[in-house]
């Protein structure tokens, strides 16, 4: 039976990356996506912006919405301090299965919890299920129509604190106009756009970094 793109991406990691070396996993995926098949990882260019935000925030508790194959999960987790944790939500069970294996190859299972299911259902359960108080950093990279409702849900569930950082991928391509309008005009956020390119292409895209003011 025909393999899927996530399966081929996983095989590229297992073939070209060193077990336990997260940076080699990131490199192997970027090479696969540049040389073989495009895939919707945040990629190397936007990934550097992600790295700089993670390093600046130095988060202890991270939420990622949208795991896909675990590329950004590995990128973030490789920069976290020892006791820090990342919870990553993935709606698609096939993606989650691949992501777990990519994360295992990177040797980062202890810092990462992959949770399967709809973000809208899991966000209200974060406190009771995972003992989360608030998130220091949220990386939005799932479905463009969920960015705004999930942000409002995070606010309503008391999962953001003064200074929590939201970092959103794809705010230009495919674009999240309602989310951008909200974080750029709400008095509860201070927002900043980082212009970049759609992963592995010359098309414009960017990341929006928004600080929750409480």
Ligand X SMILES: O=c1[nH]cnc2c(O)c(F)c(-c3ccc(F)cc3)c(-c3ccc(F)cc3)c12
Residue among 90, 144, 150, 208 flagged as catalytic: 144
SS3 48: helix
Sheet with strand 112-116: strands edge to edge? 112-116, 85-90, 61-65, 135-140, 160-168, 204-212, 189-197
Distance from the Cα of residue 40 to its chain's centroid: 11
The interface region with ligand X, picked from 78-86, 99-107, 116-124, 170-178 by CB under 6 A, is 170-178
CB of 141 to Mg ion, least distance (A): 4
Q: Of residues 11-50, which lie at the interface with ligand X (CB under 6 A)?
A: 40
Q: Is 169 annotated in the active site?
A: yes
Q: Of residues 122-161, which lie at the interface with ligand X (CB under 6 A)?
A: 141-143
Buried b (16+ CB within 10 A) or exposed e, 167-193: bbbbbbeeebeebbebbeeeeebebee
Per the CB < 8 A criterion, the answer to whether 18 and 107 are in contact is: no
Which is closer to ligand X, CB of 84 or CB of 209?
Answer: 209
Per the CB < 8 A criterion, the answer to whether 157 and 212 are in contact is: no
Distance from the Cα of residue 213 to its chain's centroid: 22
Q: Is 199 annotated in the active site?
A: yes
The binder of 173, among Mg ion, ligand X, none, by C-beta within 5 to 8 A per type, is: ligand X
Residues 6+ apart with CB under 8 A from 22: 74, 75, 77, 78, 106, 107, 108
By CB under 6 A, residue 164 contacts ligand X: no
Which is closer to ligand X, CB of 134 or CB of 199?
Answer: 199
Beta-ladder partners of 183: none
By CB under 6 A, residue 199 contacts ligand X: yes
CB of 185 to Mg ion, least distance (A): 23
CB of 143 to Mg ion, least distance (A): 10
Q: Is 144 annotated in the active site?
A: yes
Which is closer to ligand X, CB of 136 or CB of 199?
Answer: 199
Residues labelled as active-site residues: 141, 144, 169-170, 199
Q: Interface with ligand X by CB under 6 A: which residues?
A: 40, 66, 141-143, 169-170, 173-174, 198-199
């Amino acid at each position: 039976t025909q393999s899927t793109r996530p399966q081929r991406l996983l095989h590229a990691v297992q073939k070209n990356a060193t077990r336990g070396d997260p940076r080699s996993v990131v490199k192997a995926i970027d090479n696969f996506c540049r040389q073989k098949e495009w895939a919707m990882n945040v990629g190397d260019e936007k990934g550097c912006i992600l790295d700089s935000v993670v390093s600046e925030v130095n988060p202890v508790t991270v939420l990622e919405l949208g795991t896909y194959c675990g590329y950004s999960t590995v990128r973030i987790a490789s920069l976290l301090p020892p006791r820090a944790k990342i919870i990553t939500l993935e709606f698609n069970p096939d993606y989650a299965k691949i992501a777990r294996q990519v994360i295992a190859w990177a040797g980062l299972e202890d810092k990462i919890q992959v949770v399967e299911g709809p973000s809208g259902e899991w966000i209200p359960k974060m406190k009771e299920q995972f003992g989360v108080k608030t998130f220091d950093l949220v990386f939005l990279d799932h479905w463009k129509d969920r960015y705004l409702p999930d942000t409002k849900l995070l606010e309503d569930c008391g999962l953001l604190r003064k200074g929590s950082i939201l970092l959103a991928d794809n705010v230009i391509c495919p674009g999240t106009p309602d989310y951008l309008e909200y974080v750029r005009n709400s008095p509860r956020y201070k927002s900043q756009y980082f212009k970049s390119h759609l992963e592995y292409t010359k098309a414009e895209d960017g990341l929006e970094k928004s600080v929750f003011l409480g």
